DNA sequence: TAAAGACCAC
DNA sequence: GTGGTCTTTA
């Protein structure tokens, strides 16, 4: 028996928006710790890892560990039927092949329940080792989103370079090149607006903008985003989910190509 | 000679938005009583009935009954040219094959007139008998609209059931099922927010969501909608038009289908 | 392809 | 608060 009651239902709606473009089907894993998901994107290049800790739910009952395979597109369709102020409850009976989403309006005038079929999904749950990162950049999520969008109109790869000067996002394409430099800035009105660069060692890595732009679908979840970089390691793009967890995207850097012009 | 002056011109604009998707061409009937329209939708399944009483107009002159055939798409195009605060006057000379819409800006700085060709349209004016309804639900129009929209992302038919518990909207589709229950609630801040269920007899009827969603185009006309249900009778979905009339949609229930699993 | 919703700027 | 743009869905 599983029953998870989330007062701020809009969080779950936003989480699905942030995942469904990247992953079609995935297992949600429920344990006493929390509600989590880990999946490769459909082209098997990026990895998404979501955690919503049990403490973040108003009520969290999970009698035994459960892995529920869901089609995220269908799940998202159903969650779109919840109001942004609704309380969302996820229910499943042990051994059932369905899951029920219940939406309660704040006034309790309206109570909706949506039942969805579960599916069997093979999933290799990868252990993600903790790592030391050479550089960690924290910045407003909207700004990061804007940068990725802007750069993708010029090129399809972003080179992220962190030096003591700041962080530079660069791209190049047929029509020209672009460089966007952000300097550390912690003297801001709101702490969310800060740009914090923790550089242990300079790094310079290239990533496919296509994936970065998918990651920024999580922007509505958090005012800030954290980008952790190490050479030879996948970048981690992390958005906190209000007091209850996170959504993390992993993407391997592009292998450094030879200079454009070869002899 | 016909001359109808409507101070709140936006009402007519909204009325056209509420009808033009359902009906392509229709006769507007003008008499001393008011300005009305009755038409089947283009697939001959639903019926729209509009009444704007003469008292609602600032000036209402209709020397003799007139039936003016209009293409509602074209009429809507012209009305879109009126500002929302404009005063709209509808004019037609007896025997003329055109109608003129005049738009006056509130400041009288701008006066526009648009002339449109009339057309001959066969119309069977159906008498709609008054009926006793088993159940009548009044609810915020926005909520009804939201429910119809949400359910159509799951299925294509809505089953509306009224019991003493409240009113339930249900659907089923490939990805799952959905039930939305509304309970009577009259203890609200604004009377328009009330959900009032007048149940003389329980009813349970199915309707095509496609049409329901067309009906909800009238939502901007009124804060509330009234749904009148009787078994064997078309449902009536009614929106009041501010102090001057109504727009009513009629839709026959779907015949109850046999159980899903046939021998 | 067209319409509706969401977001942003004014 | 309103209009305009852009994105998303049918």
Contact check, Cβ <8 Å, B176/A74: yes
Torsion of CA A239, A242, A245, A248, to 10 degrees: -10
Give residue A189's pLDDT: 85
Tell me what the mean pLDDT of segment B132-152 comes to: 96
User: CA-to-CA distance for B120 and A42, rounded, in angstroms?
Assistant: 57
Give residue A204's pLDDT: 97
Closest nucleotide to residue A84 (Cα to C1')? C6
Size of chain A, expressed as the number of residues it contains: 263
Contact check, Cβ <8 Å, A112/B182: no
pLDDT band for position B262 (cuts 50, 70, 90)? very low
Residues 93 through 152 of chain B touching chain A, CB cutoff 8 Å? 143, 146, 150-151
Indicate the helix (H) or strand (E) that contains A214: helix A209-215
Distance A87 CA to C6 C1' (A): 22
Contact check, Cβ <8 Å, B153/A77: yes
Cβ atoms of B49 and B250 closer than 8 Å: yes
Distance B217 CA to C5 C1' (A): 15
CA–CA distance from B215 to each of A81, B20, B65, B241, B251 (Å)? 19, 11, 28, 14, 10
Tell me what the mean pLDDT of segment B125-132 comes to: 86
Check if residue A83 sits with its Cβ under 7 angstroms from strand C: no
Question: The tokens of B70 are what?
Answer: 């209009």
User: CA-to-CA distance for B128 and B167, rounded, in angstroms?
Assistant: 26
Q: At what angle do helices B72-79 and B9-19 cross, to 10 degrees?
A: 150
Footprint of strand D on the protein (CB under 7 A): A 149; B 84, 153
- A211-222 burial by CB neighbour count: b if 16+ within 10 A, else e? bbbbbbbbbbbb
Interchain contact B223–A (C-beta under 8 A): no
Of B154, B170, B176, which to mutate for an interface test with A (greatest number of A Cβ within 10 Å)? Answer: B176
User: CA-to-CA distance for B227 and A192, rounded, in angstroms?
Assistant: 48
Give residue B261's pLDDT: 44
Give residue A256's pLDDT: 66
B180 to chain A: nearest residue by CA? A112
Contacts of B142 in chain A (CB under 8 A): none
Give residue B263's pLDDT: 46
User: CA-to-CA distance for B15 and B35, rounded, in angstroms?
Assistant: 12
Give residue B258's pLDDT: 53
Interchain contact B181–A (C-beta under 8 A): yes
Q: Exposure of B89 by Cβ count < 10 A (0-12 exposed, 13-18 middle, 19+ buried)?
A: buried
Cβ atoms of A118 and A69 closer than 8 Å: yes
Cβ atoms of A152 and A209 closer than 8 Å: yes
Separation in Å, CA of B150 to nearest CA in chain A = 5
B176-185 pLDDT tens trace: 999 999 999 9
B153 to chain A: nearest residue by CA? A77
Whether this prediction's pTM lies above 0.85 is answered by: yes
B94-117 pLDDT tens trace: 889 999 999 999 888 899 999 999
B28-82 pLDDT tens trace: 999 999 999 999 998 889 999 999 999 999 999 999 999 999 999 999 999 999 9
Query: Of B176, B179, B180, which is closest to A116 when you measure between CB atoms?
Result: B176
Distance A157 CA to C8 C1' (A): 27
Q: Which residue has its C-alpha nearest to nucleotide D10's C1'?
A: B153
Give residue A257's pLDDT: 60
* Regions in chain A scoring below 50 on pLDDT: 261-263
Separation in Å, CA of B188 to nearest CA in chain A = 10
Instruction: State CA B231 to chain mean position distance.
Output: 21
User: CA-to-CA distance for B218 and B216, rounded, in angstroms?
Assistant: 5
Q: Is the pLDDT of residue B161 over 80?
A: yes
- B47-67 burial by CB neighbour count: b if 16+ within 10 A, else e? bbbbbbbbebbeebebeeebe
Measured over the CA atoms of residue B124, residue B129, residue B134 and residue B139, the dihedral's sign is positive
Separation in Å, CA of A106 to nearest CA in chain B = 13
B223-247 pLDDT tens trace: 999 999 999 899 999 999 999 999 9
Contacts of B185 in chain A (CB under 8 A): 107, 109
Residues 34 through 73 of chain A touching chain B, CB cutoff 8 Å? 71
The DSSP code for B221 is: G
Check if residue A142 sits with its Cβ under 7 angstroms from strand C: yes
Q: Is the pLDDT of residue B126 over 90?
A: no
Closest nucleotide to residue A21 (Cα to C1')? D8
Give residue A262's pLDDT: 45
Tell me what the mean pLDDT of segment B5-25 comes to: 94
Distance B149 CA to C5 C1' (A): 12
Q: Exposure of B214 by Cβ count < 10 A (0-12 exposed, 13-18 middle, 19+ buried)?
A: buried
Cβ atoms of B223 and B237 closer than 8 Å: no
């Amino acid at each position: 028996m599983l029953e998870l009651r989330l007062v701020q239902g809009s969080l779950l709606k936003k989480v699905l928006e942030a995942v469904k473009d990247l992953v079609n089907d995935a297992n949600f894993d429920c344990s006493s710790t929390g509600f989590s998901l880990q999946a490769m994107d459909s082209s098997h290049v990026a990895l998404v890892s979501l955690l919503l800790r049990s403490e973040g739910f108003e009520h969290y009952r999970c009698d035994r560990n459960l892995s529920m395979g869901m089609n995220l597109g269908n799940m998202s369709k159903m969650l779109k039927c919840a109001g942004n102020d609704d309380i969302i409850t996820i229910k499943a009976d042990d051994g059932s092949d369905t899951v029920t989403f219940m939406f309660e309006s704040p006034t309790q005038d309206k109570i909706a329940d949506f039942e969805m079929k579960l599916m069997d999904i093979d999933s290799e749950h990868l252990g993600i080792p903790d790592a030391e990162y050479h550089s960690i950049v924290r910045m407003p999520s909207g700004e990061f989103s804007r940068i990725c969008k802007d750069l993708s109109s010029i090129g399809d790869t972003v080179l992220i370079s962190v030096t003591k000067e700041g962080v530079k996002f660069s791209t190049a394409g047929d029509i020209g090149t672009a460089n966007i430099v952000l300097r550390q800035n912690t003297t801001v009105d709101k702490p969310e607006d800060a740009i914090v660069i923790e550089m242990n060692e300079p790094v310079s890595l290239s990533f496919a903008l296509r994936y970065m732009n998918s990651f920024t679908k999580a922007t509505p979840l958090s005012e800030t985003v954290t980008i952790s970089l190490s050479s030879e390691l996948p970048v981690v793009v992390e958005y906190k989910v209000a007091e209850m967890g996170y959504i993390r995207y992993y993407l391997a850097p592009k292998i450094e190509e030879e200079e454009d012009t070869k002899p």
